[in-house]
Amino acid sequence: MPKNTRPRVVIFSQGDEVITGATVDTNAAYLSQQCYELGFDIIRHITVADDMAELVQLMLDIDSMADVCLCTGGLGPTQDDLTSEAYAQAFGLPLSFDEDAYGMMSAYFDKLNVPMAEVNRKQAYLPEQSERIDNYWGTAAGFVGEGKHCRFYFMPGVPYEMRNMMTSFVIDDLKQKFHIEKTKLITLRIMGMGESSIQQIIDELTIPDVVRVSFRAGLPENELKLTFPNAYPEKELRACIDMVQDALGSVIFAVDGLDDNIVSLADCVDQLMQKKEQSISAVETLSQGLFAKQCNANWLTSSQVFPLCGNAVKTMQMAEKPVSEKTALAIAKNLAETSLSSMVMVQLYHAKAKNKSDIYTAVVDNASALSSTREVSGRSDRQQIVAAAAGLNLVRKTLLN
Amino acid sequence: MPKNTRPRVVIFSQGDEVITGATVDTNAAYLSQQCYELGFDIIRHITVADDMAELVQLMLDIDSMADVCLCTGGLGPTQDDLTSEAYAQAFGLPLSFDEDAYGMMSAYFDKLNVPMAEVNRKQAYLPEQSERIDNYWGTAAGFVGEGKHCRFYFMPGVPYEMRNMMTSFVIDDLKQKFHIEKTKLITLRIMGMGESSIQQIIDELTIPDVVRVSFRAGLPENELKLTFPNAYPEKELRACIDMVQDALGSVIFAVDGLDDNIVSLADCVDQLMQKKEQSISAVETLSQGLFAKQCNANWLTSSQVFPLCGNAVKTMQMAEKPVSEKTALAIAKNLAETSLSSMVMVQLYHAKAKNKSDIYTAVVDNASALSSTREVSGRSDRQQIVAAAAGLNLVRKTLLN
């Protein structure tokens, strides 16, 4: 491998369930993140069906285009699991029975108190000259082997098993086999400003050419990512990030990769809640439990979920009041008086039209009472996400007060 | 296109956010489902980064391997959005300014009451000889054009905009341009039986060779899919499904694609609740709001969420009782006496070890009182999913009683 060229990775997913869209391929994203952080150059994600001829041809293609291939799926016991056989055909390596793989599988079934099916025997056949990757979390052993040019890692498609194999074996093996210069990725997490506006502000700044700028439009958060070369001086890196922060202002709720490691708004709130030793009780409506789901059990005392706002105001003995920001605040203040938690979050909403609502959020603690109104639009699952984020964001602001 | 050969589709996603794993590519799954249902043969999913040379080369490769390419991403206003330019280069078609696209974009910004940024102008440049796909849901117009062999559809990467373009234009256009024989897909949804056991039972049945059998292992549901040729006689199809249902028994909670259209356990419960005009109040612990999130606001009156079981039993005035199935049932019965809902679901749990809990679920209505105990293991988000499913499944059983 020539110096200063980052090794090229192909993420290869297989299986009818992925190609037909029955399953969303979350493995590809996870594997890409891992490789990206290690400093690899991810050149392709490729997915194909369970078709022997296609699989063999693709493995040969990948062998000629990449240095590393991370392959998931096709190691199961059923008739449509063809990976080991395809790899064996592609590189002329016969399959042979692996006693240890079979033993581990038997032990796994014993532990579950489930008899092992005869079809599982197939999973213990691995290509010769490959190294087994032990699976302590399921039945299918993985394996790693060399093509003519590319190093292939084969892992099960079950995310839990695959992730455990990555952290127990593959990542270390990659580090050992490929010596690469890492890049430094700084992510600015943004709430309340769109991609175009961010781009326009960034365009007016002088960001050095060696710094790669990219965007990610998400719901409810947007991300601005700056990738610096490893050798980029720390002081200049910080100056660059400061400049961008100054330009974008308070819409940035977290800077990830510099001093902190904050992966989402929920994570940001979690870190603040734990640091400040706070606890919270909530009343949710539109977010329908999604606020609670994103909280940490260590500091969420309870959440009362009323999908219909009428049930919330009735239960909170405010049925005679209009549904408004003021009423949300009044309910939060009432609850705060008797609550066992140090904070209370209350959210109400008013459905103005099909797919359009106003949400009223209030957060009260012993020092402050904040409230906000915002409009959300779109289908109900989208409205749930935005409503839950509005709740979390007001909790965050209260914690920073 | 020769008769009886299904047109080949490549799903093509682009963008640094997908290739680096910052975003999970849900578009690929959605587009595949649509094409699969239309009867197309999906041969690849391919994802690449925002790199001009790679994009151009890949479009040429796809042109020679597929009949249809559905491409998402890269139509935005920012500097890393290269799709139109890459297509223009690949097939020698200059970009030209499209007045109508620009007009629609201006109108869109006006409606939002947001000034249009200058960078958005770029999005109105479309390749010559291509047909614009109007975007009423965002800024980026899509377009459709012909390579030497393949028909390319370009859509924004924002799922909401892409899906609207699919249903408003692309699906109709595909149907018009390609006359294909549909297949019939029947999905058996299974709860409480693993892939190996399903395979072993299926192996003992005589399923005709023309019927394609595939599996999808999911959490918490597994799926067994049977794909029949379009001309397969209805009576024989039903006989085949009956045979499989008889063999697998009560673990099947839904048959999707025959008489009903049931896409998940939550959907199954939703349909039953609405049909039987029931409503429910819930007490959640381990599922932490995920039960509520999956219910329909039309029949979920409220859910009280206590992430820590101790807070639940204390609030329910059962603090002196052991956390058990019996206690869950007692709480449900107490609540049912005063509840405004026709049903009550209560779930408690006991964390036995790191990553292992017993969950106790009880569902009470005016005719019955069911309860169950089961063990869940794995990380907390996995336990949340299984706990919510256990709640929904017991509600389902109560509704079928």
Q: What residues in A contact B18, CB-CB < 8 Å?
A: 29, 45
Using an 8 Å Cβ cutoff, are A323 and A360 in contact? yes
Q: 3-class DSSP state for residue B172? A: helix
Q: How far is A333 from chain B (nearest CA, A)?
A: 20
pLDDT at B2 over 70: no
List B residues 80-119 in contact with A (Cβ-Cβ < 8 A): 80, 114, 117-119
Using an 8 Å Cβ cutoff, are A350 and A322 in contact? no
Percent of chain B exceeding pLDDT 70 equals 99
Of B30, B157, B307, the CB nearest to A300: B307
CA–CA separation, A366 vs A339, rounded Å? 11
Query: In this structure, what token pair is assigned to residue B71?
Result: 């491409």
- The pLDDT, as a whole number, for residue A213 is 85
Q: What is the pLDDT of residues B123-148, one digit of tens each?
A: 999 999 999 999 988 888 999 999 99
Q: What residues in A contact B158, CB-CB < 8 Å?
A: 217
Q: How far is A265 from chain B (nearest CA, A)?
A: 15
Question: Quick check: A36 and B29 CB within 8 A?
Answer: no
Q: 3-class DSSP state for residue A336? A: helix
Using an 8 Å Cβ cutoff, are A206 and A236 in contact? no
Which pairs from A275-281 meet CB under 8 Å and 24+ separation?
Answer: A276/A399, A278/A341, A278/A342, A278/A343, A278/A365, A278/A399, A279/A340, A279/A341, A279/A342, A279/A343, A280/A341, A280/A342, A280/A343, A280/A344, A280/A345, A280/A395, A281/A335, A281/A339, A281/A340, A281/A341, A281/A343, A281/A344, A281/A345
- The pLDDT, as a whole number, for residue A303 is 98
All residues at 6 or more sequence positions from A42 whose CB lies less than 8 Å from its CB, including other chains:
A8, A9, A10, A11, A32, A35, A36, B19, B20, B21, B49
Using an 8 Å Cβ cutoff, are A328 and A348 in contact? yes
Q: Is B314 on the interface with A (CB under 8 A)?
A: no
CB-facing half-sphere around the CA of B183: CA atoms within 13 A: 24
Q: CB neighbours (10 Å) of residue B147?
A: 17
The number of residues making up chain B comes to: 401
pLDDT at A189 over 90: yes
Lowest mean pLDDT among A145-149, A258-262, B91-95: A258-262
Q: Which residue of B has its CA nearest to A45?
A: B47
Under the banding of pLDDT at 50, 70 and 90, the label for residue B151 is very high
CA–CA separation, B100 vs B83, rounded Å? 20
CA–CA separation, B228 vs B210, rounded Å? 7
Q: What is the pLDDT of residues A49-93, one digit of tens each?
A: 888 998 999 999 999 999 999 999 999 887 788 999 999 999 999
pLDDT at B91 over 50: yes
Q: What is the pLDDT of residues B329-377, one digit of tens each?
A: 999 999 999 998 999 999 999 999 888 999 999 999 999 999 999 998 8
Using an 8 Å Cβ cutoff, are A157 and B215 in contact? no
- The pLDDT, as a whole number, for residue A2 is 35
Helix spans in A178-308 (H): 195-203, 234-248, 265-275, 290-294
CA–CA separation, B268 vs A59, rounded Å? 41
Question: Quick check: B199 and A78 CB within 8 A?
Answer: yes
Q: How far is B97 from chain A (nearest CA, A)?
A: 19
CA–CA separation, A306 vs A312, rounded Å? 5
All residues at 6 or more sequence positions from B354 whose CB lies less than 8 Å from its CB, including other chains:
none
Determine the average pLDDT of the residues in A380-391: 92
Q: Give the residue from B49, B9, B69 showing the smallest Cα distance to A10.
A: B49
ω into residue A2 within 30 of 0, thus cis? no
Q: How far is B99 from chain A (nearest CA, A)?
A: 20
Domains and CATH numbers, chain B: 8-177 (3.40.980.10), 184-262 (3.30.70.2860), 267-400 (3.90.950.20)
Q: Is A196 on the interface with B (CB under 8 A)?
A: yes
Of B23, B217, B302, the CB nearest to A305: B302
CA–CA separation, A255 vs A267, rounded Å? 12
- Helix, strand, coil % (nearest 5) of chain B? 40, 25, 30
Using an 8 Å Cβ cutoff, are A398 and A346 in contact? no
List B residues 262-291 in contact with A (Cβ-Cβ < 8 A): 284, 288-291
Q: Which residue of B has its CA nearest to A383?
A: B293
Q: What residues in A contact B385, CB-CB < 8 Å?
A: none
Q: Which residue of A has its CA nearest to B212?
A: A80
- The pLDDT, as a whole number, for residue A182 is 74
Q: Is A52 on the interface with B (CB under 8 A)?
A: no
pLDDT at B1 over 60: no
pLDDT at B187 over 70: yes
Q: What is the pLDDT of residues B39-67, one digit of tens each?
A: 899 999 999 988 899 899 999 999 999 99
All residues at 6 or more sequence positions from A115 whose CB lies less than 8 Å from its CB, including other chains:
A109
Question: Quick check: B223 and A77 CB within 8 A?
Answer: no
- The pLDDT, as a whole number, for residue B169 is 95
Question: Quick check: B26 and A24 CB within 8 A?
Answer: yes
Percent of chain B exceeding pLDDT 90 equals 67
CA–CA separation, A153 vs A69, rounded Å? 6
List B residues 333-362 in contact with A (Cβ-Cβ < 8 A): none
CB-facing half-sphere around the CA of A145: CA atoms within 13 A: 25
Rg of chain B taking only CA atoms, in angstroms: 26
pTM: 0.73
Q: What is the pLDDT of residues A3-57, one digit of tens each?
A: 347 899 999 998 887 888 878 889 999 999 899 878 899 999 999 988 899 899 9
Helix (H) or strand (E) holding A159: helix A159-165
Under the banding of pLDDT at 50, 70 and 90, the label for residue B3 is very low
Beta-bridged to residue B189, according to DSSP, are B223, B254
What is the 8-class DSSP label of residue B260? B
What is the 8-class DSSP label of residue B257? T
CA distances to A54, B44, B171, B228 from B4, rounded to whole Å, are 20, 20, 20, 15
Query: In this structure, what token pair is assigned to residue A321?
Result: 């009041």
Q: What residues in B contact A29, CB-CB < 8 Å?
A: 18, 21-25
Beta-bridged to residue A189, according to DSSP, are A223, A254
Lowest mean pLDDT among A230-239, B219-228, B236-245: B219-228
Q: Which residue of A has its CA nearest to B201?
A: A117
User: Nearest-5° angle of CA A326, CA A341, CA B344?
Assistant: 85
Mutate to test the interface with A, among B16, B57, B383 (most CBs of A within 10 A): B16
Handedness of CA A180, A183, A189, A195 (dihedral sign): negative
Percent of chain A exceeding pLDDT 70 equals 99
Q: What residues in B contact A338, CB-CB < 8 Å?
A: none
Across chain B, what does the average pLDDT equal?
91
CA–CA separation, B191 vs B201, rounded Å? 15
Side chain identity at residue A324, one-letter code: S
List A residues 116-175 in contact with B (Cβ-Cβ < 8 A): 117-120, 139, 157-158, 160
